[in-house]
Structures are given as C-alpha cells and as structure tokens.
Amino acid sequence: MASILPSRTSPYETGNIPGPQMALSPDKAPTIYAALTKRAKNPLLIVGKYVLEFELDGKLLIDYAIEIARKRDMPIVATAHTLKGFLERNFPAVSMGLVDIVNRLQDPNFTVDPRKPPPHDLVLFLGITYQFASQGLSTLKHFAPHLKTITLCKWYHPNADWSFPNVKNEEWKQLLEAFIKALG
Amino acid sequence: MEIRKGPARFSLKELRTNMIQAKDLEVTIGRLAMEEEWEPQGPTPFPGIKDLRAWDFKFLSRYKPFYAPFCDLCCLCTYGKCDLTAGRRGACGIDIKTQQARIVLLACCIGAATHTAHARHLLEHLLLKYGEDYPINLGPEIECEMPHVRLVCGIKPKTLGDLTYILDYCEEQIVQCLAAVHTGQEGNYLDFESKALHMGMIDHVAMEVADVEQIITYGYPKGDPNAPLTEIGCGCVDVTKPLTLSIGHNVAPSIEIIDYLRKAGLGEPGQAIEVAGLCCTAHDMTRYTNQAKIIGPMSYELRFIRSGIADVIVLDEQCIRTDAVEEAWRVKTPVIAANERACYGLPDLTELPVEAIVNKLVRREIKGAAIFDPEKVGAVAVLTALRMQPLRKKYKAIPDIDQIKQAASPCTFCSKCRRNCPWDLPTDEAVNAAKHGNIEPLAQLYDRCIGCGRCEEACPQHIPVHSLIVAAGERKFKTEKFKVRVGRGPILDTEIREVGAPIVLGEIPGVVAYVGCANWPTPMSDVGRMAYEFARRGYIVTSTGCSAMAIAFYKDEEGRSPYEVFGGGFLRGELSNEGSCVANPHISDACIKIAYIYARRNLRGNYEEIADYILNRVGACGVAWGAMSQKAASIATGFNRIGVPVIVGPQGLKYRRLYLGRVEDEESFKVYDARTGERVFVGPAPEHLVYVAETVEECMVWTAKLCIRPSDTTKGRMIKLTNYVDLYKKFYGKLPEDLPMLVRTEADIPVTFKDEIMEFLKAKGWQPHPMPSIDPTMLERLIRVKRV
C-alpha cells in the first residue's frame, strides 16, 4: 500500500500521528531555525542520552550541542546522566530530568538562566530518546503557548513546532553544520 | 435504628412480640459471618468515590498532575473526532488536560477490572473445589493476613467465602468509576485523578484477594524467605519431551495440567512431559511445584511460539499476544483458550468428552478449542501434547542460521522496520548486513528485542525480521538458562518487626520494588543490574511479574543470578520475588504492616492515616522499567495513593500523566509536626510520586533519591545520602545540586564525603534547617497539640 505522507516529513515512528497540528519542516530548515534562534530572547537547548552515544564522522553529538550553545550564549539542560559529559568538557550545563524541565517550562515565570528574564521563548531538543522526546514536546505543544520548539534530531518529530526531516547520518551532519554556521 | 444496606449487624438485649420472646438476640443482614470487633472502625470503611477525595486533593496539591498527551484528539463519541490541541475544547466541552486524566482513569479502570475479574474467576473455581469455609491461613508468622482488605474494607476475612464480599465491593467501585468516563460526566481533571487513585487502591485490594486465594488453596509458599530456586529461560526445557506451554496470568488450568499428570501416573512436570509457562502464569505454576519451568516474560511469547517447542498452548488471560492462535497454527501447535475473557474466536468444546476434543486438535480439524472447565483443560492439554509431539516433530517457523541470508535477501534498506520498532532498534542495518552474509548485527539485537513483531508488520518485502533476530541468536535462545527464586508471597510479620524501625528511621536506606512489564528500553538484564546494585547497597529489594524474571537474566562476575547471590527475605540487602502481578500488593502490604506492626497504627478503615504515614516515613520506591499495560498503570497508581513513589522507563510517559512536585514551591513541601502543629519544610522527600527516567543511570540515582523521607533520623539521612551522593557522583560526575535541601544538619552529611559536601554547602550559603527532627503528617487531625 502506498504511503500518503511523504517519508521525509511523516512521523519517524510510523504510528506516531498525534493530530492535525504537526511540525513544520521547511526545505531551508538550518537557516530558518538559526534565524528563529537568533531572534529568540531566551532560547534553551535540552539534550538527552544520545549526545553521549551518537557520533557523526567521529564527532560526538555533545560537541555539536556545546558549539550551538556557545554561538548564542544559550543554556543547556543536560537530561538523564549526560551532565558528566559536559563537566568533562568544562561546559556549565544544568542537570535536570526531561520531565522536570518540561514541567517547569509550562510555567511562563520559569527560566533556567537567571541572567535572562522568563519565559524561555524557544526550546531546542537534541539527542533525546525519540518517543520520550515526542511526549515531552507534546506537553509543550499543549501547555506552553509562550514558547516554540525546534528539534535538531535526525527524526521528524510531529509534536514540535519545527523539526528536521527524517534523514540519514550524512545529511544530518550537514544540517547540523549548516545550522551552526547560520547561527553566526 | 436505621439500616441502609447490608452487611450490617445489630443485637437486641430483649425482644418481646406476640410470637417471639428473645434475649441477647444478634441479627446479621447481608452476610453469614460478620466482623468481630478486632479494632475500632476507622473513618472510611468500604470507601466510595468521594470518601478519600479530600486526601487525594491534599497530596495532588503537592504532586500536581503533569500531562503529556499521546493523542491530540478525542474519538470516544460520535461528535468526534474532536481536535483538542493547545486549549481547544471538544464538542462536549472537554479540554486536553481533562481528556488525559479521563484516559488515565480509563486505563486504571481496565487494570483494576482485569485483576478483579481474574480474582473472581479464580475464586469461583476455588469455591467449587475447596468450599466457602476454607480458612484463610497464611501460617503462624502472618497474623495480619490481608492488610489492604483490612485497611480499605475495614474487615478481616476468615474464609474463602468471605472474599466474595470484597470482590462485590471492588466490582461496584469499578462500575462507578467507569461510569465517570462517559461523555458529559466528570469534567475536572483533578476529580478524574482522584477516581484513578481510587481505582489504583481497588486494584491492590483485588490483587490481594487473587493472590491470597491461590496461596491458601494451592499450597504456595506463605511468605517463605527461603522459597526454592527454579529455572528460567528457553534452555531450561528438554525439547525432546512433549511440552505444554501456558501463557497468561490465571493459573487455574495450569494447576490442573500438573494435577492431571500426577493423577495419570505421568509423574512430576519434567519427567514424562515438560510443563512450561510464559508471563505471570509461569510464576504461579512454579509456586505450585518448582519442577514447572518459566520460559520468560511476555517479550518471549512470539519467539517461543515460533520455535515450535510447544506441543500444545494453553491461553488463560491477560498479556497474551492476540495473534497467538495464528502464530501457533503456523507451527502446527494446537491452542486451548481456557478463559471466557479470552476466547480467541475458538469453538466452545467444553461439553465434549476429553477424547473427542483431543482428536479434533490432533487431527488439526480446528486451530484450537475453547474449554471453560479448568480440569478438562488439564486433561486435554496433557493428552494432546503426548499425541502431538511425534506428529509435529517440533516443527518451527524460525529459519535455520544458514537460511538467514536468503530470507534477508529481499531487503531494500527502506528502514520501515526500524521506524515501526518501539525502540528504534537498528533492524534495518542488521537485516541488510545479513543480506550480505553478516548475521552478527542481528544476533546483537536478540537481547534488546521486546518481541512485539512490529518490524515484520512494516516490512514491504515481508521479511520475518523478528524470526531472523531469533535465528541469529539461536545458540543463546536454545541454551539460556538462569535461576529465579520461586514467588514467596506475603511478607512475614516477623520480618516487619525486624525491619520496621530501621526503615522508618532510615537506617535501612529503602525498599525498592522492581515490578511491571517487558517493554524495556535496554536489555532486560539491566533490571537485574539495578536490583543487584541496590541489594548490594543494603536496600531491601523486592520484585514481581516480568521484572522478577528479568532480574534472573543478569549474571555477576562469577556467573551467578542475583537470586543466587542474595537471600530471599524482606531484609536488609536481600532480594525477594513475591510472585506474579497479583503478588504486587504484598509489597504495598509490607508498607502498611510497618504502620500497623511497628507503629501500632490502626488499619481498620483508616486509609488516609496509613497513606500519610507511608508517604512521610516509609522509604519505599517502585521501579517499573518496562511498564506497558493498563494493569501496570493501575498498580502504579495504587502504590501512589498509599504513598509510594514509582519510576517508569521512558515509554512510561505514554501513560500521559505523572505526579510531579516542584520543590521550589516550598509551601507544598511543608508538613505538620504532629507534636506541635507547626508547619515545617521537609525538602524533596519524596520529590515526585511518578517520575520517568530516560536511562538506567538516571533511574538508579532517582531510586536512591525517592527513598528519602522526612522521618529519617540523622543517621538514616546520612545513610540515604551516602547512596544518593555516591550514585550521583558516579553517573553525573559531581555533587547533586539539591543537597542543601536534603541536608538538614551537619549530622546528616555522609562521613565519606564530609569535607567535600561541607565546602559545597558553604558555597551555596546553606544553613541548618530550623526543625530537623519532626513527627511529620499532612493530616491536621493528627496534630496532638493544637497551636492557639
């Protein structure tokens, strides 16, 4: 049977179709996401366990995360046990479980970075277990109208506002590098 | 005198009518055996939906529901589908938050109904067999025999027949709560949550009934810490013998298989015939005789059916693959459906003679038979296995290793298998490698695969991906054999006397329960790795169901299963297997018994006070690393209502709701000091009631943390913090940021980290807590001295 949805922008996990509102995945995603990030007043990057496990041509995902954060002086919330990787790299990430940070992000008076006034208006996800991230994004979609979400993973995440399409590692690397470059 | 409904009892000192003259007349309505006055009746015997609502709201104001919608739509009525995205309301007026709570309640109703129906079905069978006067006797070391029933219902059942009334109550409550789910009924998310908590509580009552009835009648271990070890794994059966395979949770037909073997002179299981089981019914078979074999958890169903080793399959109920009949047919294994809740479309042959049913099955006239008489199932299963074995010759659906390459050859590397895998396992890469002659990547998936078969459903080339994984891991599949302790059942009163004080004072750092299903994010041996670590650290570790099985799959450096390393008591540094899913309440019962035996609190109809006691004093934490089912939802919610936090694996967020605290909201983490009535901040103790962890490392850190309680003495808090800090440093690489809230005085600081922590606290501006030692309660009525 033919698939109705195009493979690149259909939910990565085939059955994960939440409803009528699904993420945008534009052709020029890296440029657009970089523009959104630059425009955001208080962006936040949340990373999960894959930042310690995924390598793209010998470069760990955690190093991409740090590069992204440094470009925009953006705080990183290190979920699961990923804090250790940031400490080894002397990056001051904040350790918090995914559900703990998502729970707080529903609150427009919450900010991870005390230097910047709440709320976080843009939240980027990277390297979190697909379905776990999907559920966290769902919470933000429904209950955090004051912020937008972008996922930088290689999977199309329907519950985000903006998502990369489903891509193989080579293309993912290009997308991440283009995004970092566009951040300035 | 007004009597609204039975059961009720009253006595008349003297009665004179035209017909009757009586003195000291006692009248009982609704029951034959009424309660003795064994304890003053508490405020909430047989509570209805509204009776514990105030308590629920109290602790939901600290542990607020957190929702992660799994679907943005509601499609429960013909108005729908309604789009509830981001604040939109449906045609009935419901919003997304309330809808999530509604679905949670529905899941809890399903879970509670499933256990209640299980308990009822088994009870009716046992009443016929043993009679309603069969005594409830759990042995000399268990005086408090059904703590949940005492606590919730306010009665002390004495006979098998008494359990009927308890199930009547459970059934009524389930109907009431299920009715609340109807369109245009309940309309507030907190009220849905209160009802879900109610269902969780009812579930624990029903499970307690289900397990006690089988313990007393089938002669299972009655809390035996030295319950024997038995074997688990596909390699524990002799494949040259006929084999009956039972799948499910309701053990009655499997017991009849064993009884029939004995009656027919075929000896014990394993002699002439192998009697094996999958999922919880296997646990309960080994509690009857440890000669029965446990193949594995639910995730082993598909692989074992396809292996063709079973010569007959008996399905009872719950967690059975719904394609079991079709899968069995492929390998020429006849199926018997033994429970009316799971008929599988098979013809009802209950009234036919045994020989006639066996003939139909052996001649493959039918794929299987529904037989609703457990005794007949026993006879048919054994006779069918004996006759099928030489005919089937263990016909299998799993290819041989040398056929893998050919089977994988149509692969186009489209990755649809991977995208349909719940865990995103690299099945695409593995099948493609096999196509080119390398089966190692497939073999590596053997331990990770949860056996759902979704990869095959997605493959446009119809490659039997799951079968290829099993084929590549064939050597492991055929030889894997581990040791598991037979389910011991309840915790002994004597054990509670030994551990009650050190648990409440915190000197035993916690009670950790590994429970739940087989949707594991990592190899299932990780459950064993966690259990091993916490037993080694001196926690009391308990387990049930598929998790109790998973623990056995871990081996230490000397090749021993955790059950071989640690004793089976409810004691410091020991590891017990309580039994199947319905043995879960023995764990919550242990918490209740600590309040009853150690603290001498009354149980009878006194739920609120005991839940308050457990939440504030009993450092227990459940871990459902692979939670999957609605039963797991209601079990966890039942643990929550009695005051026990639960951690679930990452898929657990699909249950849609957690209970999360926010410790920066200090007011919500204040309790009363019962001695003075003062409100005291107790820190994150415990911080959450349901939490999701993404990794094993995170899960272990949170397990240690969620065992912390306000009642810890300084020595107890020091021991708990030693474990928490040690695990946090090991996995996260530094000291935890919340230490200033958890360290109340210098005496709480672990000796091994003293200097480091002091320096850390100093930098944070930490000050000792004003009232480090309190008698904590959330219930105003328990304050002994009211403040003016």
Interhelix angle B189-218/B163-179, nearest 10 degrees:
160
**pLDDT number for residue B27:** 65
Distance, CA of B59 to CA of B670 (rounded, Å) = 11
Residues of chain A contacting B668 with CB distance shorter than 8 Å: none
Q: How confident is the model at residue B14 (pLDDT cuts 50, 70, 90)?
A: confident
**pLDDT number for residue A26:** 95
Q: Is the pLDDT of residue B222 over 90?
A: yes
- The CA distances from residue B450 to A133, B400, B580, B707, in Å, are 20, 21, 19, 30
Q: Check CB contact of B770 with chain A, cutoff 8 Å.
A: no
Q: How confident is the model at residue B3 (pLDDT cuts 50, 70, 90)?
A: low
Q: What is the pLDDT of residues B34-54, one digit of tens each?
A: 567 889 999 999 999 999 999
Quick check: B85 and A103 CB within 8 A? no
Q: How confident is the model at residue B488 (pLDDT cuts 50, 70, 90)?
A: very high
Q: Is the pLDDT of residue B423 over 60?
A: yes
CATH number of A26-182: 3.40.50.1220
Q: Is the pLDDT of residue B447 over 90?
A: yes
Q: In sequence order, what DSSP letters do the residues of B180-232 get, joined into one string?
A: TTSTTS---HHHHHHHHHHHHHHHHHHHHHHHHHHHHHHT--SS-TTPPEEEE
**pLDDT number for residue A4:** 53
Q: Check CB contact of A19 with chain B, cutoff 8 Å.
A: yes
The answer to whether domain B53-218 has CATH 3.30.70.270 is no
Min mean pLDDT across B17-21, B412-416, B495-499, B668-672 is at: B17-21
**pLDDT number for residue B117:** 98
Distance, CA of A61 to CA of B646 (rounded, Å) = 31
Q: What is the pLDDT of residues B147-190, one digit of tens each?
A: 999 999 999 999 999 999 999 999 999 999 999 999 999 999 99
Kindly state the average pLDDT of the residues B745-759: 97
Partners of residue B483 on adjacent β-strands: B231
DSSP state letter for B280: H
Q: Is the pLDDT of residue A23 over 60?
A: yes
**Residue in A with minimal Cα distance to B71:** A18
Partners of residue B337 on adjacent β-strands: B315, B370
**Residue B279 near residue B248, CB atoms below 8 Å:** yes
Q: Check CB contact of A170 with chain B, cutoff 8 Å.
A: no
> What is chain A's percent helix, strand, coil content, to nearest 5?
40, 15, 45
Average pLDDT, chain A: 96
Quick check: B67 and A142 CB within 8 A? yes
Q: Is the pLDDT of residue B29 over 80?
A: no
Same fold, B229-392 and B485-655+687-735: yes
**pLDDT number for residue B100:** 98
Quick check: B71 and A18 CB within 8 A? yes
Query: How many of the other CB atoms lie within 10 Å of CB of B182?
Result: 12
**pLDDT number for residue B28:** 62
Quick check: A131 and B67 CB within 8 A? no
**Residue in A with minimal Cα distance to B75:** A19
Q: Check CB contact of B653 with chain A, cutoff 8 Å.
A: yes
Q: Check CB contact of A49 with chain B, cutoff 8 Å.
A: yes
Interface of A with B in 136-155 (CB under 8 A): 136, 138-139, 141-143, 145
Out of A12, A88, A99, the one facing B660 most closely (by C-beta) is: A99
- Burial category of B131 from C-beta neighbours within 10 Å (exposed 0-12, middle 13-18, buried 19 and up): exposed
Quick check: A20 and B72 CB within 8 A? yes
Quick check: B732 and A142 CB within 8 A? no
Q: Is the pLDDT of residue A172 over 90?
A: yes
**pLDDT number for residue B5:** 44
Q: Check CB contact of A128 with chain B, cutoff 8 Å.
A: yes
Residues of chain A contacting B70 with CB distance shorter than 8 Å: 18, 135, 138
Cα B545 off chain centre by: 6
- The CA distances from residue B549 to B232, B269, B280, B517, in Å, are 8, 20, 9, 10
Q: How confident is the model at residue B250 (pLDDT cuts 50, 70, 90)?
A: very high
3-class DSSP state for residue B484?
strand
pLDDT above 90 coverage of chain B, percent: 92
Out of A18, A48, A95, the one facing B694 most closely (by C-beta) is: A48
**pLDDT number for residue B23:** 77
**pLDDT number for residue A6:** 63
Distance, CA of B581 to CA of B112 (rounded, Å) = 12
Q: Check CB contact of B424 with chain A, cutoff 8 Å.
A: yes
Quick check: B71 and A130 CB within 8 A? no
Q: Check CB contact of A13 with chain B, cutoff 8 Å.
A: yes
Q: How confident is the model at residue B421 (pLDDT cuts 50, 70, 90)?
A: very high
Which candidate, A43, A46, A162, places its Cα nearest to that of A100? A46
Phi first, then psi: give them for residue B614, nearest 5 degrees: -65, -45
Quick check: A132 and B67 CB within 8 A? no
Q: What is the pLDDT of residues B573-606, one digit of tens each?
A: 999 999 999 999 999 999 999 999 999 999 999 9
Q: How confident is the model at residue B364 (pLDDT cuts 50, 70, 90)?
A: very high
**Residue in A with minimal Cα distance to B651:** A132
Q: How confident is the model at residue A135 (pLDDT cuts 50, 70, 90)?
A: very high
Distance, CA of B732 to CA of A86 (rounded, Å) = 10
Query: How many of the other CB atoms lie within 10 Å of CB of B107?
Result: 22
Distance, CA of B72 to CA of B511 (rounded, Å) = 38
Q: Check CB contact of A103 with chain B, cutoff 8 Å.
A: yes
Q: How confident is the model at residue A50 (pLDDT cuts 50, 70, 90)?
A: very high
The two structure tokens encoding residue B576? 């017990």
**pLDDT number for residue B37:** 83
**pLDDT number for residue B195:** 98
Q: What is the pLDDT of residues A71-128, one digit of tens each?
A: 999 999 999 999 999 999 999 999 999 999 999 999 999 999 999 999 999 999 999 9
Distance, CA of B775 to CA of B783 (rounded, Å) = 9
Residues of chain A contacting B96 with CB distance shorter than 8 Å: 142
Out of B85, B424, B660, the one facing A19 most closely (by C-beta) is: B85
Q: Which of B694, B698, B725, B730 to mutate against chain A (most A CBs within 10 Å)? A: B694
Q: Where are the domains of chain B?
A: 1-30, 53-218, 229-392, 401-479, 485-655+687-735
Q: Is the pLDDT of residue B504 over 90?
A: yes
Selecting from 3.40.50.720, 3.30.390.10, 3.40.50.2030, 3.40.630.30, what CATH number does the domain B485-655+687-735 have? 3.40.50.2030
**Residue in A with minimal Cα distance to B665:** A104
Q: Is the pLDDT of residue A69 over 70?
A: yes
Residues of chain A contacting B104 with CB distance shorter than 8 Å: none
Q: Check CB contact of A81 with chain B, cutoff 8 Å.
A: yes
Beta strand A122-126 pairing with B540-544: unpaired
Min mean pLDDT across B292-306, B659-673, B773-787 is at: B773-787
Out of B73, B86, B662, the one facing A142 most closely (by C-beta) is: B86
**Residue in B with minimal Cα distance to A12:** B419
Q: Check CB contact of B665 with chain A, cutoff 8 Å.
A: no
The answer to whether domain B229-392 has CATH 3.40.50.2030 is yes
Average pLDDT, chain B: 95
**Residue A109 near residue A119, CB atoms below 8 Å:** yes
CA–CA min distance A71, chain B (Å): 25
Q: Is the pLDDT of residue B248 over 50?
A: yes
Size of interface A-B (CB pairs under 8 A): 122
Q: How confident is the model at residue B552 (pLDDT cuts 50, 70, 90)?
A: very high
CA–CA min distance A144, chain B (Å): 8
Q: What is the pLDDT of residues B530-540, one digit of tens each?
A: 999 999 999 99
